[in-house]
Structure formats: C-alpha cells, structure tokens
C-alpha cells in the first residue's frame, strides 16, 4: 500500500490538552483511494517505563521532516510501516519522533489498510494477532470505572472545611464488570447501575457534592475506600445486578520509595500489610480484578500477592485477575519479567505505552502464549477515537476498559464495541 498524502493535526483531548490526529490518504495497487485518520490519548498516572510523548507542536514539525520518505515506499504490511517509523526515530523510548506521532501514524495506517481492502478494522486486527477465537464466543467484558480517585480527581477547595477532606480516594478506579456474555445487555446493565449509583450518592452526600472525575466516575466526599465499595456492593446486591467489582489501585501514586511504604487513608503500610488489606477486600466484596496493587518496580510484591490469591483452587467461575499496568507498560521486556516472576495473570494493554500497533500486537501474543489475559485500555485524557474497541475485539481480549459510560469520549469505545457485537452475534 502506498501513502499518497498525509497530514498531522493538533486537536484537543478530553482534558482540553493538545494531542495529535494523523490523516492518511492511501492506495492499494490500482484500487480506490482510502482516507483514514487516528488520534492518540494521554495518561496522567503514567508509568516510568512508558514511551516518550513529544510536545504536539514539535511532533507536527517532525512529521514534515519524515513525510517525503514515507511517501516513497510501497508498504508490504503493517510491520514494514511501523518498523520504518521505529528506524526513523532511532531511540529506545521513541523520544526523537515521539510515541504520540508514531502511534497516530501507525493506527491511521491500520485503518487505511483495512479500508483499502474493504474489511472491518477488527477483522484486520484479528488476522494480525493470529486470534483463532470466534468473536461472539468470548467477547471482551467492559470494565466501567464508576468511582474515580487518585490522580484522576480534583477535590473542591472547600471540602476540607466542609468535610475535612483534602484529596480524593487513594485507590484510582472503582469498577463494575458485567458477568453476562451478551455485550449489549452488559452495557445496558452498566449504564443503569451508573445512573442508580449517581442517584444513591446524591441521596447520601447531596447532589452538589457528586462530581465527575477524568474518566466520568463519581467523586464524592468519601472518607474511606471501603465506604465507596460498600455503597457499590449494596446497590449490586439490592438490585441483583449481574456485576462484579474491579479495582485499579495505581499504587505508585501512594508509594514512598524512600521507606518502601504505602499510605492509605493516612495510614502507612508495608507491602505485606497492603497485601492483607487487598485480600480482605477480596473477602468482603465480590471482587474479580485488581490492577497495579503495588509500585511499578515491585515485581516481587506483585508475585507474593498473586501467589496468595491466584491459587490452584480457582475455577473458571470464580477466577480472579491481578492486572499489571504501570508494572509492564505494554513492553515485551517487562512483560517477560512479570511472566517469569508470576507477578500477575493479566496485562493492561495501552497502545501509547509502547507506541506502535505492531509492538502492541507482539505483547498481546506474548501474554496469550503464556496464559495471561489482556485488558485493552483507554487513557484518562481521551479523544473520540474508538480504535481500542476494534483492538479489544480483534485480538480476543478478556476486557475493555474505557471509564464510566458517562462522557462521549468514553462511550465512543463502548458504542463501537456494541456495534461490532451486533454484527457478530446475530446470525441469520
Ligand atoms: C490507568 C489509566 C487509565 P492513565 O491507570 O489504568 O484508566 O490511567 O491514563 O491516567 O494512566
Ligand atoms: Mg492503571
């Protein structure tokens, strides 16, 4: 496929920050021209080992330097395109061209490739990742982040005076995860739960004290993490919703390297004490997943908790996941170490942590080959691009994490996944 023309645009993400959108005009052989575009998100609780994000204005300049070379080549496949960008960049962490520039081009190339062949993007991604599963047999589950904490919230100044609260909850994400197979019903249940939870929180804390965080989850003057979990679990029980609970602790955010201690609710904890804290949460609530329980360098603490929780006794029905995000940063070297050390049993997949589609697919395959599940994830600063929905379905991921079903940039991904579900699950 030849790229006939390309442009980079600077657009705003959901936090109002500048980000990149790549537009490509491509042609396969004598076929028709295909126009494709892709934009990239940005994280806030970013891992230290993520690929480099270049200032969008600089990235814009860089593109004009490499554009003419891109237009010269007739690309044989995705890998050739991505490898060329990696070679142009020439650094370990993509700090020359920027992972944001490289990724926007890589994703736009994938869309152009699928479009020029008249195939759906998720089908192209299924082929790229050698996924042998049937779509409707094991469709990704949505992980709805209904209560926000950590780096994704800003607490109003007067909450200190009113409630004695200076910052949001320590744990970053409080999620509900449908246990039913039908993605459409799962999405409806998630939406209903989200609405009911909003009403319940208004009753408890007052309407004016129910705010939204970066990922559309609620932010209230909760005193403890358990208080939030208790309200969620009660609502699930009361309505018999087919939902389980998931957490992303994003623990690097409340970790002190100096003394190897974590601070939760003003109490300092050793990694061992924090493990006990998590195991207790698993006992008390119907929890099935826990992401980033420890600092991003603590492979061994992850392993110890995984050893305690992910026992042989786990059946398909009560299976639990320890998900690595900042620990592995969608990076093959770090995933290898996590697999060897048994630091978890699932990896969070974020395209912009590594910077190309091809490298992301390699990480997904490595996870799959080693019996690790994958959860494809958005970032806290998002655009309307729904690429991750096609990726999650295409590669046969266990889950898709795109925040609460409450803001358009979050819903764009769930809606696209629903569209695919409808296409693939209805058989005439
Ligand atoms: C996470 C993500 C997405 P951020 O920690 O999993 O929810 O947050 O994009 O801020 O890194
Ligand atoms: Mg995370």
Please check the confidence at residue 428 and state whether its pLDDT lies above 70.
Answer: yes
Distance 294 CA to ligand 2 centre (A): 11
DSSP secondary structure letters along 114-131: HHHTT--HHHHHHHHTT-
Over residues 318-330, the mean pLDDT reads 95
Asked whether the CA dihedral 247, 224, 255, 300 is positive or negative, the reply is: negative
Residue 304 contacts by C-beta under 8 Å, 6 or more apart in sequence?
Answer: 271, 272, 275
Over residues 203-226, the mean pLDDT reads 98
Q: What are the backbone dihedrals phi and psi of residue 395, each rounded to the nearest 5 degrees, phi first?
A: -85, -5
Could you confirm whether 424 is annotated as catalytic? no
Cα 294 from Cα 1, distance rounded (Å): 44
The pLDDT tens digits of the residues spanning 126-158 come to 999 999 999 888 899 999 999 999 999 999 999
- Quote the CA–CA distance of 297 and 65 in Å, as a whole number: 37
pLDDT value at 315 more than 70? no
Query: Average pLDDT in the 298-314 region?
Result: 91
Domains in the chain: boundaries = 2-119, 141-427
The protein residues having their C-beta less than 5 angstroms from ligand 2 (an ion) are 248, 325
Q: For residue range 327-355, list pLDDT tens digits in order.
A: 999 999 999 999 999 999 999 999 999 99
Which one from 28, 215, 291, 382 is the annotated catalytic residue? 215
Minimum-distance ligand to the CA of 350?
Answer: 1
pLDDT value, residue 316 = 66
Specify the fold of 141-427.
TIM Barrel (3.20.20)
pLDDT band at 165 (very low <50, low <70, confident <90, very high): very high
Which ligand 1 atom is at minimum distance from the Cα of 44? 10
Q: Is 350 a catalytic residue?
A: yes
The ligand 1 atom nearest the CA atom of 145 = 7
Distance 173 CA to ligand 1 centre (A): 9
Residue 312 pLDDT > 80: no
Which run of H or of E encompasses 423? helix 408-425
pLDDT tier, 228 (very low <50, low <70, confident <90, very high otherwise): very high
Instruction: Report the nearest-CA residue for atom 3 of ligand 1.
Output: 379
- Residue 127: other Cβ atoms inside 10 A: 11
Q: What is the pLDDT of residues 19-60, one digit of tens each?
A: 999 999 999 999 889 999 999 999 998 999 999 999 999 999
Check 62, 126, 320, 350 and give the catalytic one.
350
In this predicted structure, the answer to whether residue 14 has a pLDDT above a threshold of 90 is yes
Alpha-helical (H) ranges within 98-182 are 99-116, 121-128, 159-163
Q: Kind and range of the H or E element at 9?
A: strand 2-12
Question: Separation of 395 CA from ligand 2 center, angstroms?
Answer: 20
List, in sequence order, every residue forming a beta bridge with 400; answer none if it has no partner.
142, 376
Please name the residue whose Cα sits nearest to atom 4 of ligand 1. 43
CA of residue 2 to ligand 2 center, whole Å? 37
Q: What is the chain's percent helix, strand, coil content, to nearest 5?
A: 45, 20, 35
The fold adopted by the segment(s) 2-119 is: Enolase-like; domain 1 (3.30.390)
pLDDT at residue 109, rounded to an integer: 98
Work out the mean pLDDT of the chain and round it to a whole number. 97
Closest atom of ligand 1 relative to the 378 alpha carbon: 3
- For 78-118, what is each residue's pLDDT tens digit? 999 999 999 999 999 999 999 999 999 999 999 999 999 99
φ/ψ of 163, rounded to 5, equals -125, 0
Q: What is the DSSP string of 345-359?
A: SEEEE-HHHH--HHH
Give residue ranges with CB within 6 A of ligand 1.
43-46, 215, 248, 250, 325, 348, 377, 379-380
pLDDT band of residue 311 (cuts 50, 70, 90) is confident
pLDDT of residue 427: 75
Decide: helix, strand or coil at residue 302.
helix
Q: Is the pTM of this model over 0.85?
A: yes
Cα–Cα distance for residue pair 70/84, rounded to 1 Å: 8
Question: Tell me: the pLDDT tens digits for 262-294?
Answer: 999 999 999 999 999 999 999 999 999 999 999
Find the 228 Cα to ligand 1 centroid distance in Å.
19
Q: What pLDDT is recorded for position 317?
A: 67
Look at residue 210 in the predicted model and tell me its pLDDT: 98
- Kindly give the number of the ligand 1 atom that is closest to the alpha carbon of 348: 6
End-to-end, the C-alpha distance of the chain in Å comes to: 35
pLDDT at 318 over 80: no
């Amino acid at each position: 496929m030849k790229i006939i023309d390309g442009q980079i645009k600077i657009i705003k993400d959901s936090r109002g920050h500048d980000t990149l959108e790549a537009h490509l005009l491509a042609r396969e052989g004598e076929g028709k021209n295909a126009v494709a575009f892709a934009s990239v998100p940005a994280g806030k609780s970013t891992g230290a080992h993520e690929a480099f994000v270049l200032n969008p204005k600089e990235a814009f300049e860089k593109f004009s330097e490499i554009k003419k070379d891109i237009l010269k080549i007739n690309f044989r496949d995705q890998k050739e395109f991505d490898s060329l960008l990696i070679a142009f960049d020439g650094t370990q962490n993509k700090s020359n061209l920027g992972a944001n520039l490289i990724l926007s081009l890589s994703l736009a190339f994938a869309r152009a490739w699928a479009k020029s062949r008249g195939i759906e993007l998720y089908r192209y991604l299924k082929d790229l990742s050698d996924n042998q599963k049937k779509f409707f047999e094991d469709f990704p589950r949505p992980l709805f982040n209904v209560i926000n904490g950590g780096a994704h919230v800003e607490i109003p100044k007067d909450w200190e005076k009113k409630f004695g609260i200076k910052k949001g909850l320590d744990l970053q994400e409080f999620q509900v995860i449908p246990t039913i197979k039908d993605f459409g019903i799962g999405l409806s249940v998630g939406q209903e739960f989200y609405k009911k939870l909003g009403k319940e929180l208004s009753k408890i804390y007052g309407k004016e004290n129910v705010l939204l965080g970066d990922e559309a989850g609620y932010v209230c003057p909760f005193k403890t993490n358990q208080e939030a979990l208790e309200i969620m679990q009660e609502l699930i029980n009361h309505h018999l919703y087919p939902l389980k609970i998931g957490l992303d602790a994003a623990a690097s955010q409340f970790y002190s390297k100096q003394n190897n201690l974590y601070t939760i609710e003003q109490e300092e904890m050793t990694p061992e004490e924090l493990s006990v804290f998590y195991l207790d949460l698993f006992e008390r609530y119907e929890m099935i997943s826990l992401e980033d329980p420890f600092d991003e360098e603590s492979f061994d603490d992850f392993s110890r908790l995984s050893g305690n929780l992910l026992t042989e006794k786990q059946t398909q029905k009560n299976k639990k996941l320890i998900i690595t995000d900042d620990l592995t940063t969608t990076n093959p070297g770090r995933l290898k170490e996590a697999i060897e050390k048994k630091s978890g049993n699932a990896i969070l997949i974020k395209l912009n942590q590594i910077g190309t589609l091809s490298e992301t697919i390699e990480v997904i395959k490595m996870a799959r080959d080693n019996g690790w599940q994958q959860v494809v994830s958005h970032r806290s600063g998002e655009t309307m691009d729904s690429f991750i929905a096609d990726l999650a379905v295409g590669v046969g991921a266990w889950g898709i994490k795109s925040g609460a079903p409450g803001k358009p940039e979050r819903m764009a991904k769930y809606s696209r996944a629903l569209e695919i579900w409808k296409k693939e699950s209805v058989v005439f």
